[in-house]
Amino acid sequence: MTRVYLYALLSATPSCETGVGVCAERLRVVAVGGLLALVGDVGEPPEPSAVTLRAQDTVLRRLAAGVDAVLPVRFGTLVADDAALAESLAHRQPQLARALGRVSGCEQMTLRVWGEVIAMAPPADEEAGGPGTRYLAGRRRAHDWAHRVPELEPARRRLGDLVREERVERHDRPPLLATVQHLIPRGAGSRYLDEIDAARDGLRPWRVSVTGPWLAYAFAEDAA
Amino acid sequence: MSAQRPPIEVRELESLRAELERQAALTDTPRWNANPEDVQRSVARLVLTLVEFVRQLLERQAIRRLEGGTLTPDETEAVGVALMRLEETVRDLAARFGLEPDELNLDLGPLGRLL
């Protein structure tokens, strides 16, 4: 018995051949509730491994060349049939359509921030009040801090409008301090790298490394 | 162009691998174990995760109201104290069952992670 393996959601039918998937199955594009899903019919889903993960990425990269927006779905996503696929996507259609619009014409660069020193949060200007007030003020600062990575400000100034959207994850486990995902226009990877290189001196004592361009995996949470 | 870029150091790669392994471990599907001690721990983990989820929702709502200026100083103090004690309680109970803060989370499959 075969089941439907979901690879990605697409903004349009790819202009190139859909070709075959990770299990050598013929890929097809299914229209479901205003969305287009790239699927394959498989007996068993591929086992997660470096090889199969790379193979799935290769499939999607090939198709991305023929369509503006590719929203990758979590590896190993399997449904019983096309009807079950339609049902699982129906209630998330608005979010998924928005996510497709967000990644349209874009690709992802991944920036990692390294260093031995964890940046300190700015001192509070609201230390007045009782313990509850101070606690809440501290939580507010911590929340803000977790989503900013101020160490990167010199790079952000240089990147300017090149970055359409940002996702931040703080680790604060030296030397790995943070991972920052940037959504940039397709084809702008070289310019992005040049801007980061130009910002390196201003970023000290922190160091950064860049990988990419990738498909917009970090911006596909709605399709995960 | 790439020759001018500083190479990634071994220590940096090791810390990245450790972080990825930590995150992968967090997404492992929890298994129900017949050992009575583990059953208690699993139930405690589930309950405390849900309490932590509610606590974080309340905290975000309180911060939004604080930023919106819709909390009086007395209300800010009362909400802050309540959230602080709730956090302490969750932390104490988690420690009693040997649970790390990172373990208070649930993988909701297609919906992602709870926290």
pLDDT tens profile A126-149: 567 899 999 999 888 888 877 788
A192 neighbors A159 (Cβ within 8 angstroms): yes
Most A-contacting residue of B66, B113, B114 (CB-CB within 10 A), to test interface: B66
Within an 8 Å CB–CB cutoff, is residue A147 touching chain B?
no
**Distance between A100 CA and the closest CA of chain B, angstroms:** 17
Cα–Cα dist B92/B114, whole Å: 21
- The whole-number pLDDT of residue B23 equals 75
% of chain B at pLDDT higher than 90: 35
State yes or no: pLDDT of A195 exceeds 90.
yes
3-state secondary structure of A5: strand
Domains and CATH numbers, chain A: 3-103 (no CATH), 106-223 (3.30.70.260)
Q: Is B20 on the interface with A (CB under 8 A)?
A: no
pLDDT tens readout for residues A156-190: 999 999 999 999 988 877 899 999 999 999 999 99
Residues of B in contact with A197 (CB under 8 A): 1, 4-5
Q: With a CB-CB cutoff of 8 Å, which residues 33-92 of chain A face chain B?
A: 74, 77, 88
Does the structure show a pLDDT above 90 at B115?
A: no
| pLDDT tens figures, A50-85 | 999 999 999 999 999 999 999 999 899 999 999 999
| Cis peptide leading into residue A213 (ω within 30°) | yes
ipTM of the complex: 0.71
Instruction: Provide the whole-model pTM.
Output: 0.76
pLDDT of the residue at B4: 59
To which H or E segment does residue B52 belong?
helix B36-68
Task: Round the average pLDDT of chain A to a whole number and report it.
Answer: 90
* Residue of A136, A176, A193 lying closest to B15 (CB–CB): A176
Q: Residue A119 pLDDT more than 70?
A: no
Whether residue B1 has pLDDT greater than 50: no
Contact B12 A209 (CB under 8 A): yes
Pick the residue from chain A with its C-alpha nearest to B12: A175
CA distance A76 to A86: 17
Residue A107 confidence (pLDDT): 96
Torsion of CA A85, A90, A93, A95, to 10 degrees: -90
Which positions in chain B touch A137 (Cβ < 8 Å)? 66
Q: Which two tokens stand for residue B4?
A: 């001018």
pLDDT value of position A122: 58
Q: Is the pLDDT of residue B30 over 60?
A: no
Pick the more confident residue, A116 or B62. B62
Q: Say if residue A196's pLDDT is above 70.
A: yes
Size of interface A-B (CB pairs under 8 A): 83
B70 touches chain A (CB under 8 A): no
